[in-house]
Amino acid sequence: MKFVHCLVCDSASNTPILTNTQDPFVKKIGTTQTSYVTCNDCGFVYQNPTLDTDELEALYSTDYYDNKGQTISEGYRKKKEEYAQHSFDWIKSVFPIDQINENPNILDIGSNTGAFLSLFQKQGWNCHAVEASKNMCEIAKDTYNLEQIHNTLFQTGTFPPEHFSFVSLLHRREHLEYPEKILQDIYSVLKPNGHLYIEVPDIFRPKSALYTSYFAAPHLYTFSQQSLQRLLARNGFKTIHSGSVPRGICILAQKSEPENVTLSDDPIQVAQCISQYKAQHDKDAFVYKYIANSLPAKVLIKLKLPWISQVLAKFREHVRVNKII
């Protein structure tokens, strides 16, 4: 692991704010905990020490959507469709998706099941995507008839310069070791005045306290509206619209010129938010330990009874906690 400065303002001054002492994601790299700090200058929350390049490669070395040969569940696919529809509806409310007449190209980075991209396809857009999971690529092709799904990582040279009118990046930015690098690559493939839609978790609106990976190794950073807009501006993206969807913050930005803005969050307010999250997390841990993870629950799930097994399985999918201090 390595110690880093704040991604948003490059300050080295920070305060420890939370440690996940039983992070299940870091077993592959021989540790059990993940720690987070708050920047004392701009209030940004980030992992520190953070995973280095080799550790990140180890973390993602296997196709984590493939479980002993079985691909995603029907429930997972439907959940992704619901999230995709929320995102698409928000974009439609601020951007004329169905009024573009220039044979538009869209690139979705980390397309997952393809549910989000398929909604653009229905509007006549030329759809392209990159997705690291081979399983997800096949699902996108089979389920939504999306052909231009590339089983690769997005990087310089993957696509021609200034080729796309629109690029989407949904819940990938917080996982990246060098998020500014991917913004630079996106900038290069966007047409002049092209648009970027980005979606990330919201530090002021944490997902359920029972959600495993909110404060865990895959999330190197946790953004706010302020910190995300500041980082985008520095890399040449002017925020046109900002808002929220069920999974967090959403921003529609336009390719522009790099600009130095000084938006920041109050570190005290951030600390209070995380303290409330931790209190709820500790309270709900009881639910997981004695109900969702109990032996009777496990047995009932395996029996696959028509109603109760499905309800318990779905509940257990959302009720997962770790020891946080």
Residues 314-322: what's their mean pLDDT?
A: 55
Of 264, 278, 171, 183, the C-alpha closest to 224 is 264
What pLDDT, on the 0 to 100 scale, is given for residue 58?
Answer: 72
From 198, 139, 204, select the one nearest 167 (Cα to Cα): 198
Q: Say what the pLDDT of residue 280 is.
A: 77
Q: Is the separation of the CB atoms in 114 and 139 below 8 Å? A: yes
Report yes or no on 212 lying in a domain. Answer: yes
Q: Specify the number of domains making up the chain.
A: 1
Type of residue found at 151 = N
**Calpha distance 5→39 (Å, rounded):** 9
Higher pLDDT, 289 or 277: 277
DSSP string covering 261-302, please?
A: ------HHHHHHHHHHHHHHHHHHHHHIIIIITSHHHHHHHH
What's 171's DSSP letter?
Answer: S
pTM above 0.95, yes or no: no
Mean pLDDT of 232-246: 95
For residue 66, what pLDDT is reported?
47
- Residue 303 within any structural domain of the chain: no
Determine, yes or no, domain membership for 80. Answer: yes
Instruction: Please write the tens of the pLDDT for every residue from 66-100.
Output: 444 445 677 778 888 999 999 999 999 999 988 77
Spatial distance between the Cα atoms of 28 and 24, rounded to a whole number of angstroms: 9
Tokens of 4: 């880093």
In sequence order, the 6+-apart residues with CB closer than 8 A to the CB of 272 are none
Q: Which domain does 135 fall in, by range?
A: 74-267
Q: Is residue 301 domain-resident?
A: no
Confirm whether 69 is domain-assigned.
no
- pLDDT interval class at 225 (50, 70, 90): very high
How confident is the model at residue 292, as a pLDDT?
65
Tell whether 48 is covered by a domain: no
Is the pLDDT at 118 greater than 80? The verdict is yes
Q: How far apart are CA 13 and CA 38, in angstroms?
A: 9
When pLDDT is cut at 50, 70 and 90, the band that residue 321 belongs to is very low
Burial tier of 71 (Cβ tally within 10 Å: 0-12, 13-18, 19+): middle
pLDDT for residue 155: 77
Region 118-122 average pLDDT: 95
Q: Which of 188, 140, 197 is nearest to 166 (CA)?
A: 197
| In-domain check, residue 130 | yes
Q: Is the dihedral of CA 50, 220, 211, 62 positive or negative?
A: negative
Q: In the chain, what is the straight-line distance between the N-terminal and C-terminal CA atoms, in Å? A: 20
Mean pLDDT for all residues in the chain: 84
In a domain? residue 305: no
**What CATH number is given to the structural domain containing 129?**
3.40.50.150
SS3 249: strand
* Banded pLDDT at 216 (limits 50, 70, 90): confident
Name which of 134, 89, 131, 93 is nearest 112 in CA terms: 131
Look-up: residue for tokens 């841990």? Answer: 285
Question: Is pLDDT larger for residue 18 or for residue 318?
Answer: 18
Would strands 164-170 and 190-200 be described as parallel, antiparallel, or unpaired? parallel
